[in-house]
Amino acid sequence: MSAVVCLSGGVGGAKLLLGLQRILPAGELTAIINTGDDFDHLGLRICPDIDTALYTLAGLANPELGWGRRDETWTFMQTLEQLGGETWFRLGDGDLALHIERTRRLGDGQLLDSITRVIAATLGIATTVVPMTNDAVRTRVMTDLGELDFQHYFVRLRCEPALQSCRFVGAETATITSAASAALTQSPRAIVIAPSNPYLSIDPILALPGMRELLRASGAPVIAVTPLIGGNAVKGPTAKIMRELKREISPLAIAEHYRGLVDGFVLDECDSALAAQLAIPCAITNTLMRSLADRERVADVALEFADSLRARGAR
């Protein structure tokens, strides 16, 4: 009952993953990562959320960009532009190595989970980083410009079209990876839903057949950490999307979105006045993760909160 499982998407989620990795003994964290953002581009399989998790957990993430690798060079992209290639999705020279190596291994018949495991081990990552599925699940967003591939909407159009709905093509027949199932069924200490975008990053994970049931049957307290602070997302389009989906831009709406799934909610301290309106127990802390100490603190608060819920029999 020592292991912790975290469901995570992109940058915000990876920050909490790093905090959890730093406070937990090696090997006790399993990160189940959204693959709905994955796409094929320039003949390469790109898995943005897996890569953000890997780079962040390996200490290789680019602190300025918030994506990609630190100490990156851009010769490939500059040359591709000169050749008239597609350059709207920025790929650094070092980043390319991961995409090319993964694509090569997929072409050899290896599965995404085992490729990710090998790469994580090569990078010396203590966390078990697991794609939610080996099957193709592709997030498509219905917008005022029609239905778009996720990265076309998210990167190429910078989330500018108004979002009306999302669907996760392939999710209904996708199988949860065995390491993800195993982590959820082996009596975890806690399950944490990272402060990732609920609609774009967490919902694809929850859309997999059996995932909600595994979370509920795990016996572990399920804690969500708010991705909203004082009515704004720290990064990314969460608030904009909530407006377009006509949700109240409030942590309460996030908690409502996860109703029936989570046992506790971590609110930001600047939203503490909302605590009384939550239908479930909450913990309050500064959830803004600027420093490594911040990441560790939020991770610590989430786990202590989970432990307290278990002790109280709230789960």
Which spans of this chain sit near its own copies (rule: CB under 8 A)? 42-44, 69, 72-73, 75-80, 82-85, 92-98, 100-101, 103-104, 107, 118-119, 122-123
Minimum distance between the CB of residue 41 and its own copies, rounded to whole angstroms?
Answer: 9
Minimum distance between the CB of residue 88 and its own copies, rounded to whole angstroms?
Answer: 14
Q: Which is nearer to its own copies, 42 or 261 (CB)?
A: 42
Q: Give the span between the Cα atoms of 81 and 113, in whole angstroms.
A: 33
Minimum distance between the CB of residue 110 and its own copies, rounded to whole angstroms?
Answer: 13
Tokens 């049931």, located at residue: 213
- The radius of gyration of the chain's CA atoms, rounded to the nearest angstrom, is 19
**What residues form DSSP beta bridges with 225?**
266
Q: Which is nearer to its own copies, 2 or 78 (CB)?
A: 78
- Angstrom distances, CA of residue 102 to CA of 13, 73, 114, 135, 201: 22, 20, 10, 15, 21
Minimum distance between the CB of residue 132 and its own copies, rounded to whole angstroms?
Answer: 22
Q: Which is nearer to its own copies, 71 or 276 (CB)?
A: 71
Which structure tokens are listed for 248? 């109240």
Minimum distance between the CB of residue 68 and its own copies, rounded to whole angstroms?
Answer: 12
Minimum distance between the CB of residue 126 and its own copies, rounded to whole angstroms?
Answer: 17
Tokens 């076309």, located at residue: 152
Minimum distance between the CB of residue 187 and its own copies, rounded to whole angstroms?
Answer: 34
Which residues lie closer than 8 Å to 254 by C-beta, 6 or more apart? 198, 224, 226, 227, 228, 265
Minimum distance between the CB of residue 266 and its own copies, rounded to whole angstroms?
Answer: 35
Q: Which is nearer to its own copies, 55 or 168 (CB)?
A: 55
Q: Which is nearer to its own copies, 51 or 268 (CB)?
A: 51
Which structure tokens are listed for 202? 């967490």
Q: Which is nearer to its own copies, 100 or 126 (CB)?
A: 100
Q: Which is nearer to its own copies, 117 or 295 (CB)?
A: 117
Q: Which is nearer to its own copies, 118 or 280 (CB)?
A: 118
